[in-house]
């Protein structure tokens, strides 16, 4: 069926959502707009679905959600015979609607459903899957994407995002489902009355909070530290539980950014609600100038990531990168657990390949095994699962990725801004009692180990041609591996799609024992590094730069050179 035939079918069949009806009618004479919505279907992968909200097979809407959920239902019923699925959502536009539609499909397929009465953080969904012994989970979220987007993250029975095999199996089911004729659904109230759908009770969230509190390193340190915090949930799902955990550990002086306190999928004060971006934190930074807190906390819309800013030497507020925060937390957790004798006999830390190499030095210092995994927190969750299978789950100490995602403990299998916010405040309180700010802490680590500057560049390739352009770029780099970048010789390459690492200096090859992924890593002289990774869910390529210098200025000079060379490598301005 070509895109115009699909469009005409939707005009006839997609009548339940008036927003979709109006949108379809509005584009009837615009072939380009019709094409953008129908030239393909959103693909279901390990990250589930993600796309612009609207009409068509290439948009997020109730019909696409129902089709995906029917595929998930078929998968669960075929694999387990029967099962249960937990579902929640964040503050995204139509997120609660999509949750309810998914619940109705699952119930119609005889699957027990646990749904939340209001928006919840993504890590809570992971917790619900494990708490209720579900076979799968669904989180309706588009994480930190702009307001026009929504998404559908799928989880396996371990509470971790779906593996490649499971996601492929669900996608195979979806491909065999007619979006209008093959989807089962039923009335939500009827499903509730028949016990097929059940709302999660408040005591479950209390049990989650208790698990978070078990991850404290110095449980009483915040009670008399007089720590002052400004917090913004960025109009997302973190507001209640982050404030609750801070209150319960003794952080009483918390000022919330009023404009970003309540759920709002339009994100009017931060078009890109991403704690990696300064503009998203600007309202919080403005409030910091008035309140003068010790630190600013900002959680993203689904509250699985947290960014911070800390008071600098001159009284201004310094943004701390995801790498810097993770490095500080690593040092704090390891040093304090060693001092208290609570580190397990065979401690394990996990980070992604694009995350700061400075962590390697800290793990060497404290004799902790460090595992490097592919980008994506599901791979950190997979390490925990493998430890669990061998009875060594308690060996996991901490895991993080550079994009502000952190996890201590094994009660969930995804990054958790609630536990991270707690530990950050605990860390800040501990150092405050020692007369140190977090700015001094990270600078002290740089003085000790060298200045590791990590920079992420993001290049967007929008429209129907974007994904093909990205694919062509990756093929070109593979076929013409650079011998040097910005004057620094390439000493080692790693192609995670081909699972081959090449030592250029010694002319040797080794096999990479990680899942295949479309990532190219170029190790340069002086411990500098360039990693190229196209997104699997968005039309963008990310480049991760590691620049090592004697100090900040030295590292910045290297970064500037690598950034210019990286743009040339991609053929972009």
Closest Cα partner for 567 from 455, 431, 468, 437?
455
How far, rounded to the nearest angstrom, does the alpha carbon of residue 491 sit from its chain's CA centroid?
31
Residues 6 or more apart whose Cβ sits within 8 Å of residue 197: 103, 107, 112, 113, 115, 188, 191
Q: Tokens 């007089």 belong to which residue?
A: 226
The pair of three-digit structure tokens given for residue 7, joined into one six-digit string: 């469009």
Residue 406 contacts residue 416 (beta carbons within 8 Å):
yes
β-strand partners of 510: 501
Closest Cα partner for 192 from 92, 98, 280, 104?
104
For the beta sheet containing 295-299, the strands, ordered from the edge strand earlier in sequence to the opposite edge, are: 253-256, 228-232, 295-299, 306-311, 317-320
Return d(Cα 206, Cα 344) in angstroms, integer: 27
How big is the chain, counted in residues?
A: 573
Q: Which of 88, 143, 535, 566 is catalytic?
A: 143
Concatenated DSSP letters of 228-277? EEEEE-TTSS-HHHHHHHHHHHT--EEEE-GGGSS--TT-TT-SS--TTS
Residues 6 or more apart whose Cβ sits within 8 Å of residue 481: 490, 493, 522
Return d(Cα 420, Cα 521) in angstroms, integer: 29
126 labelled catalytic: no
Closest Cα partner for 423 from 354, 346, 363, 336?
336
Return d(Cα 189, Cα 245) in angstroms, integer: 33
Return d(Cα 368, Cα 338) in angstroms, integer: 11
Return d(Cα 201, Cα 300) in angstroms, integer: 24
Q: Tokens 């090592």 belong to which residue?
A: 548
Closest Cα partner for 101 from 161, 191, 172?
191
447, exposed or middle or buried, with CB in 10 Å at 0-12, 13-18, 19+?
exposed
Closest Cα partner for 520 from 476, 565, 486?
476
The pair of three-digit structure tokens given for residue 111, joined into one six-digit string: 């699957």
Alpha helices (runs of H) in 188-321, residue ranges in sequence order: 188-193, 202-213, 239-249, 278-291
Return d(Cα 304, Cα 89) in angstroms, integer: 12
Residues noted as catalytic: 143
């Amino acid at each position: 069926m070509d895109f115009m035939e699909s469009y005409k079918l939707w005009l006839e069949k997609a009548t339940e959502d008036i927003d979709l009806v109006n949108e379809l009618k509005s584009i009837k004479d615009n072939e380009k707009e019709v094409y953008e919505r129908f030239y393909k279907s959103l693909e279901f992968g390990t990250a589930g679905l993600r796309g612009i909200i609207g009409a068509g097979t290439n948009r997020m809407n109730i019909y696409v959600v129902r089709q995906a959920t029917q595929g998930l239902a078929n998968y669960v019923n075929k694999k387990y015979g029967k099962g249960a699925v937990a579902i929640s959502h964040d503050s995204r536009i139509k997120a609660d609607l999509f949750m309810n539609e998914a619940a109705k499909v699952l119930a119609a397929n005889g699957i027990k459903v646990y749904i939340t009465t209001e928006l919840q953080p993504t890590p809570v969904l992971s917790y619900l899957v494990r708490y209720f012994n579900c076979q799968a989970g669904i989180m309706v979220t588009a994480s930190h994407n702009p307001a026009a987007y929504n998404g559908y993250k799928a989880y396996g029975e371990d509470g971790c995002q779906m593996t490649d095999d499971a996601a492929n199996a669900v996608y195979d089911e979806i491909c065999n489902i007619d979006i209008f004729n093959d989807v089962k659904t039923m009335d939500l109230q009827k499903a509730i009355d028949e016990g097929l759908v059940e709302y999660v009770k408040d005591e479950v969230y209390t049990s989650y909070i208790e698990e978070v509190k078990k991850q404290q390193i110095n449980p009483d340190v915040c009670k008399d530290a007089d720590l002052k915090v400004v917090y913004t949930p960025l109009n997302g799902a973190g507001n209640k539980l982050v404030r609750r955990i801070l209150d319960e550990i003794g952080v009483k002086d918390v000022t919330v950014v009023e404009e970003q306190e309540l759920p709002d999928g339009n994100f009017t004060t931060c078009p890109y609600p991403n704690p990696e971006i300064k503009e998203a934190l600007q309202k919080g930074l403005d409030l910091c100038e008035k309140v003068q807190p010790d630190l600013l906390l900002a959680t993203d819309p689904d509250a699985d990531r947290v960014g911070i800013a800390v008071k600098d030497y001159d009284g201004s507020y310094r943004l701390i990168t995801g790498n810097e925060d993770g490095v500080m937390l690593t040092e704090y957790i390891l040093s304090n657990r060693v001092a208290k004798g609570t580190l397990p006999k065979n401690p394990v830390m996990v980070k992604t390949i694009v995350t700061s190499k400075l962590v390697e030095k800290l793990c060497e210092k404290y004799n902790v095994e460090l595992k490097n995994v592919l980008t994506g927190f599901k791979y950190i969750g997979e390490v925990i699962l493998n430890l669990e299978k061998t009875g060594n789950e308690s060996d996991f100490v901490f895991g993080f990725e550079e994009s502000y995602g952190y996890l201590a403990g094994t009660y969930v299998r995804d990054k958790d801004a609630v536990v991270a916010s707690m530990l950050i405040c605990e860390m800040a309180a501990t150092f405050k009692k020692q007369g140190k700010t977090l700015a001094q802490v990270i600078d002290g680590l740089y003085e000790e180990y060298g200045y590791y500057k990590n920079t992420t560049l993001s290049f967007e390739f929008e429209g129907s041609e974007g994904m093909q352009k990205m694919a062509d770029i990756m093929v070109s780099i593979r076929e013409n591996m650079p011998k040097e970048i910005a004057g620094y010789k390439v000493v080692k390459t790693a192609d995670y799609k081909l699972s081959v690492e090449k030592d250029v200096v010694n002319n040797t090859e080794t096999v990479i024992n990680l899942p295949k992924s479309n990532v190219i890593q170029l190790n340069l002289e002086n411990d500098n590094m360039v990693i190229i990774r196209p997104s699997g869910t968005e039309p963008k390529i990310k480049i991760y730069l590691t620049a090592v210098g004697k100090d900040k200025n030295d590292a910045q000079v290297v970064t500037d050179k690598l950034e210019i060379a990286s743009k040339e490598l991609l053929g972009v301005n």
